[in-house]
Chain A
Amino acid sequence: MVGHSLRVIASTTRVNLIMTWRFFSWTGFGLRFFTPVMTLGSAWVLYNVVYAGSKLPPQFGTAIGSSGYVSFITVGNAFYVFVFAAAFVVGRVMFWERATGTIEATFMTPMSRLAYMSGIMVAAATNALVDFTAVFLLGIAFGFQVALFNAPLFFTSLVLTAVGLFGIGLITNAVTLTFRDRTTTANSLMILFMVFCGLVCPVEFMPSWAQMISKVLPLTYGVSLMRSSLIGTGTVDVTYNILALVVLGAFYVAVGALTLRLIERNLRKKALFSVF
């Protein structure tokens, strides 16, 4: 069973990577960097022009770390590309299967649905790594500096965050499939992560209601660990953040797997697989 699932993951990953790179679009690739470039550019202008010479609060230095504000923003933005992989790729996979008329064939196969979705996520995360690297390179142009490199923490945060986002992608997939929604759910999710995960502002600076929302999003902890592994921000409680990522990841994957099963059962029962 495990061997079969691993084969499903490997083959799905391979197919999706081939599809992405065979029809590679420079337009689409470039489009993905507009938000990070704009955010980095804006942060640079705010720090170096608008508030240059102003007296900044003492907590500011502790929260952003020794590498400076632009480095703080760069790490947040680089990590954000994985949200795109979860929300727009995993989150819409069944929607596109239905749109292209292959959903019935996919569900007729005896493969594990979770393994299939995992394969999609692995391919999406692999592609996201290209964007991830590109955002860091863009960050260098704006003054990004690495203060240290804690490899175990870096890779742990990367993998655990991807697992948590995968779970959220599964839930999104169920929503898009049920409500025949192409972009609204995925876009709303992207905004939720962009605003509340501390990408541009240390979470402790946010209002309390925003901090409460940030606590249930895995990216918050992932970004915090990633910053700690690269730019040594503040006094990050590594154990707490890793534990939070594990718990949230397990919760979201469990809920996602359950919703996937329920949605499949419902669609079969009501004969709604290919009704569009």
Chain B
Amino acid sequence: MFTRVVLAEAVKSLKVYFFSSRTLFWTLALPLGNGLYLYFLYLPFAAKTVDLYFNAGNYKIDLVGFTIVGQLLYSFFTMMLLAGASFDQERWQGTLESVLLSPANRVAILLGGALANAVNYLWMLIALVLSWIAFIHVNVMVTDFLALFVSLVLSYLAMVALGMCLETAEIYSRRGGILTGWLQEPVMFLSGQVFPLQSMPAFLLPLSYLLPLTFGLMAVRLTLFGGASMYDVAIPLAVLASMAVIFFLLSRLLVSYAERRAKVKATLTQF
């Protein structure tokens, strides 16, 4: 039953959003635009690489890779947050009550949305990275493909789990969407997407370490552009795995609490 709900929701979302103008914007225009913006931010400094210090090692990451691929990963993160907004979409369409009347598992619905978003985005992300390698000659250095694969998968799971937690805000408050939107810029700043984490002011670092994107960016950048192995990125991978489990369990509690409160206060469709 759980798997069927996930698949049904994923197929529905794919049918609605696959190659829609909304998807093209979120998966192509926004990441490319923001990535170029970051790249241009670095241009006056005439740098070709960005130094990334991690675990007593200094990795020289290609500038295009650091900025544009960093932005692609950030957009992937945003897509996962949007997956959490699927209840908000249902509310806008006037179908939220019907969805919640069904015996479908709420977490399965959210996972279905996240799966569809991942499918929508991943093929374009891979195509973009491959085209840059071919045409812009981005300096990719992968020595451990398994480490890269595990980094991507764990980043995805941790981000989806966090997105599901944030869904609570969407059900609970009419300002949920705005609050989720608010998170995007600080997350971009704190995660080390714009500049390396070692340059982050020390008092902000504890906030950075609460974000799965911080560890996802670290692991993917190091394995994709720095030639890091599974052993080198063991710490961020372990943190990502822990975050995926914790946020997933938390999301189950939070979503059920928010649904209960919305039913008691009769605010499911009052928008």
Contacts and interface: CB of A to CB of B under 8 A. Distances in A.
Interface in A136-189: 179, 181, 183-184, 187-188
A205 B29 CA distance: 22
A50 B199 contact: yes
Contacts of B189: 38, 41-42
A49 B199 CA distance: 6
Contacts of B200: 45
B44 interface: yes
B34 interface: yes
B141 to A, nearest CB: 21
Contacts of B29: 187-188, 191
B45 A54 contact: yes
B1 to A, nearest CB: 35
A183 B20 CA distance: 13
B186 A201 contact: no
B94 interface: no
Contacts, number: 96
Interface stretch (B95-103, B107-115, B174-182): B174-182
Contact of B185 (A35, A45, A63): A35
Given A42-B194, A50-B196, A60 B44 contact: yes
B71 to A, nearest CB: 11
B41 A56 contact: no
A43 B178 contact: no
A46 interface: yes
Nearest to B30: A191
Contacts of B42: 46
B246 to A, nearest CB: 27
Contact of B186 (A34, A42, A60, A206): A34
A57 interface: yes
Contacts of A35: 185
A31 interface: yes
B47 interface: yes
Contacts of A60: 44-46
Interface in A11-59: 27-28, 30-31, 34-35, 37-39, 41-43, 45-46, 49-51, 54, 56-57
A234 interface: no
Interface residues of B, number: 34
Interface residues of A, number: 40
A31 B182 contact: yes
B145 interface: no
B40 A195 contact: yes
Nearest to A37: B185
B22 interface: yes
B194 A200 contact: no
Given A27-B175, A31-B181, A42-B189, A205 B196 contact: no
Nearest to B25: A184
Interface of A: 27-28, 30-31, 34-35, 37-39, 41-43, 45-46, 49-51, 54, 56-57, 60, 63-64, 69, 179, 181, 183-184, 187-188, 191-192, 194-195, 200-202, 205-206, 210
Given A27-B175, A191-B30, A191-B37, 13 more contacts: A31-B182, A34-B186, A38-B185, A41-B189, A46-B41, A46-B45, A60-B44, A60-B46, A63-B44, A181-B21, A183-B25, A201-B40, A210-B36
Of all A-B residue pairs in the complex, the 7 with the closest CB atoms, nearest first, are A191-B33, A34-B185, A201-B40, A49-B199, A42-B194, A184-B25, A200-B41
Interface of B: 21-22, 24-25, 29-30, 33-34, 36-37, 40-47, 50, 175, 178, 181-182, 184-186, 188-189, 194-196, 199-201
27 contacts: A28-B178, A31-B178, A31-B181, A34-B186, A39-B41, A41-B189, A42-B41, A42-B195, A45-B194, A45-B200, A46-B41, A46-B45, A49-B199, A51-B45, A57-B46, A69-B44, A187-B25, A188-B33, A191-B33, A191-B34, A192-B33, A200-B37, A201-B41, A205-B43, A205-B44, A206-B43, A210-B36
